[in-house]
Structure formats: structure tokens, C-alpha cells
Chains A and B, each alone.
Chain A
């Protein structure tokens, strides 16, 4: 029986391949389960944060494209959004993995794409772009007419008008829904290692380790609540962080008109 500090040293970064190589196989302590599942959370955070940041930019571009009057921009954006919102993320993971696998046979440079850190990240990036783009598109459509007219009156046009008036207003309106999207993207990262992407050397995410323990002990009542604990903790963190940004985006409005963050459930993919 090792001390808990020793366990954290051994398994704290196990999901990244640092520390003890062999996973514990029997007589699991609570500390081991907490440490390993927490270590797996690093992957969830990695996927969530990177996909969210990169997806933000593509989403903005797609939303602008979808609201464009030019068919050449509008149609591809519409199709992209429909493709990724209309099909299950689980199937997208599978398809992408096998696509990269067959590309790898002809072009060896696709080797990295078949591992989760890159391949799954790309799928998540495209997926969250589509979902966020739909949110941003909705916000773009509900920008008050007066705001745009005021910008015109000030002689702003083109890029300056977009950057100074339309884009900030879009963000402000979309922010509550975008917070939801961030939460659901973060939850969707648990699918990565349960689709086709292999967990190389048993370096997986939080759910991977949770199900590892559940399979070994045949007792789901300990690892899954631990997993839930971590996820609720991180969800609260997202809500807090996004709430801060929300306050900043709405800082020019009187207190009563500020849009509160209202969390809704219906975004699961």
C-alpha cells in the first residue's frame, strides 16, 4: 500500500506518458482512482481548450459567410454547418479516423493524423466550428438595426464597421449560447477514445480511465461519480470564466438590461 503522495507522483501525469508505466491492476485505492481519472482530464482539457480557441475563428468566418448575400460564400458555409450539425459526432470520429488511415497508406505524412492528439482535435475543431457558427449566425441576424445604422452614420464601413460594431455586438448577443456550446464541447471530448482513435500505451482521457476501473472492479459506483465530480468542477469553472467575459462584453449596458447567462441543455450532439 503506497501513500497517496507517491500515487500522485506515479500517476498524476500518466495520461501523458510520464511516471509509472503499468496501470494498477488490483486493489485499487480511492486515491489511485482520483489521480488517474484526474490525469485523464488533462486530455479533455487539451481537446476542449484547443478546439474551442481554433474553432472560434472558423466559426466567425462561417457565420459571416452564411449571412453573406453572395451565394458563393453562403452555400459552402450552409453545407458545412449542416454536415457537422446534422450527423453524430461519434460517426464523424469514426469516419475521420478511417479516412486518415487510408490516406496514410498512400501519403505517409498523414501518420500523425491517425493518433488522437491531432486527428480527433481536427474533428472537434470542425464540429465546434459548425455549432458555434450557427450560434453566431443567429446573433448576427438579431443585431439591432439601429446599431448598424449608427455605424453607417459615423462613416464606418466594411472592415472597420465589422470590427468595431457588428462583431462585438454579435459576441455579446451570442455569449450565453456560446457558453453552453463550450460546456457541451468539453463533454463531447469524452467520445474521442471510445470511437476509433486508439489510446496509445493506455494514455487516455478521464472516461477512458473511469471505464477501465469500472471494467476491472465491476463496480461503477466509484469511478463514474469521481468522473462526474471532475466534470462538474470544470463546468463550474467554464461558467465562471465565461461569466466574467460576459460581464465585460455587457459593461456598457445598464445593470437591468444585461443578459444573464441562462444555461440550457439542448445542445448535446
Chain B
């Protein structure tokens, strides 16, 4: 990157590091941090909307819909989330390919599962074998985002369901007394009020989501864990201009501090947000609400 980097062997320690940390592979490493942030930025709202739909379904008066919602909430309980991650990545991929296969190749007669293989016709493959490298990577990332959203959507559904149930019943009865329909009551009275009750749970969920991002590595995305392993490993002068012994420990220490910092900053921001919200609610919600928000 710098002009003096032409011959790394001749550099002093400081300059050596300034060259080493700005070489091409390290740029990919820094880019993978952006990947993590993008994942968070997409997953958080998508998971929240999944959660909202889930909670709405769980409250439904139509029994099968309510079962569906409650099942969605319950399914993450008792099973490790990482098992869900590993499951959904393959299952989603096969699901998409199967659907495309049904649409694109209707006259295909061979069974799709042949022993240990999952065979769909060539034009149904995702991504297409002919597509460039970046399409494959984006597709992998896209699968990861959906997987994260499904799993965290279930968490969010649980929190929002709790929040909806926490809204004082008198509020809903009042709305009905004013002649509002069920739909109006839900959108005009319940939803605006439930956020305050759901916020402690949601902010907790955000912290959990941050801490779940290294699992991207398991989904086959080239994320920060992948690059830390790659870059930290022993490098001999045969393959690189910057030979060094096994530094993976230091790379992971750096990641550890990255996450600690990220968590701390989030905690401070969320704390501020909650104080602000509880200020607004203190007059109407009274003591019980204030306790709940600050607890």
C-alpha cells in the first residue's frame, strides 16, 4: 500500500507492520467486518418482521394459525441454535432447488434423491454452474441471512408475544368499548403500546444476535473467523513476502476485543434508548412500567 513496502525484508518493525496490515489479504479481512455489519443490518429488521408475524399468528383466534405461531416460537426452545443454522442452510438450498426443479423441468422423471445424492436438473441448480464467483458468494450470504432471520425471528416472536400479552387488558377493553374492530384494536392500541414492554427483551436479543455472528463461519461464508484463521496461520517466506509464525492467537484476541467493544457500545446506546422511552411512559404507565423498563 505504501511506497516503502516494495521490499518487506528490509523494513523496521513498525514499517513492517504498517505494510503487513495493509496488504491485499488484510483488506479482505477488514471487508469481512463489513460483511458482519451488513448481516446485522439486514437480519435485525427481517428477523423482527418474522417475529412480528409469528407473534401475530400465535395470538390468532384461528386455531391452526395459532398452533403454527406457537410452534414456531417453541421450536427454538430445547434445541441448540447452531443445529438450526446447520440444518437450515442445507434445507433451504435444497428447498429452493426443488421448487425450481418442479417449475423448470416438469418432464424430469428420475427421482431427486438417489442414494446419497440430491440431483436436480442443470437449469434448476442454484446458483447456475455458469454464473461467476460473486454470485456464488452472494447466494451463500443470502442463505445465511435467511437462516439467521428464521432462527432469530423465533426468538423475536417470543419476545413480542410476551410484549403483546403484557399490555394492560383494560386498554383493549376500552378500545372495544369505543367500537373499534379487532383489527383496529390491534393496530391502533396494542401495537403502539407493546414496544415498551418488548424493548428489554429486544435489546437483549440484539446483544445475542451480535454474539451469534461468528457462526457465519459455520455457514460457509468467508467471515472474520475464516480470515483470522487464514491470516494467523504460519506463513513461510516461500509463499508470502511477510513470513511470520503462528499468530492465530493474536488474531482471535483481536476479534475478542472487537466483540467486547461492540457489545459495550450497544449496551450504552440501548440503555440510553430505554431511559428515554421510560421517561415518556413514566407518567402514564406508572410505577409498574418504570420498574419493568429499568429492571
Contacts and interface: CB of A to CB of B under 8 A. Distances in A.
Contacts of B221: none
A99 B249 contact: yes
A90 B214 contact: yes
A228 B83 CA distance: 8
Given A224-B87, A231-B79, A98 B248 contact: yes
Interface stretch (A2-10, A114-122, A169-177, A209-217): A209-217
Contact of B90 (A92, A95, A214, A227): A214
Interface string A200-222: 00000001001100101111110
B78 A232 contact: yes
Contacts of B86: 207, 210-211, 214, 220, 224
Contacts of A219: 113, 116, 118
Interface string A216-258: 1111110010011001100110000000000000000000000
B23 interface: no
B215 interface: yes
Contacts of B253: 95
Nearest to B262: A86
Interface string A89-102: 11110110011011
B208 interface: yes
Interface class of chain A by DSSP: helix
Given A98-B246, A191-B82, A86 B259 contact: yes
Interface string B245-258: 01011001101100
A95 B249 contact: yes
Pick the most buried of A88, A92, A219, A221: most chain B CB atoms within 10 A of its CB: A88
Nearest to A83: B260
Contacts of B215: 90
A98 B234 CA distance: 12
Contact of B81 (A187, A210, A218): A187
Contacts of A86: 259-260, 263-264
* B interface secondary structure, majority: helix
Nearest to B76: A265
Q: Which of B80, B94, B212, B228 has the most CB of A within 10 A?
A: B80
Contacts of B252: 91, 94-95, 98
Nearest to A184: B80
B143 to A, nearest CB: 13
Interface in B69-108: 76-83, 86-87, 90-91, 94
A216 B116 contact: yes
A23 B31 CA distance: 40
B292 to A, nearest CB: 14
B79 A232 contact: yes
B117 interface: yes
B232 interface: yes
A269 interface: yes
A87 B77 contact: no
Interface of A: 26-27, 82-83, 86-92, 94-95, 98-99, 101-102, 183, 187-188, 190-191, 194, 207, 210-211, 214, 216-221, 224, 227-228, 231-232, 235-236, 263, 265-266, 268-269
The 6 closest A-B pairs by CB, nearest first: A187-B80, A98-B249, A95-B252, A235-B78, A88-B211, A224-B87
11 contacts: A88-B212, A89-B211, A91-B259, A95-B252, A98-B232, A219-B113, A220-B90, A221-B91, A224-B86, A266-B155, A268-B211
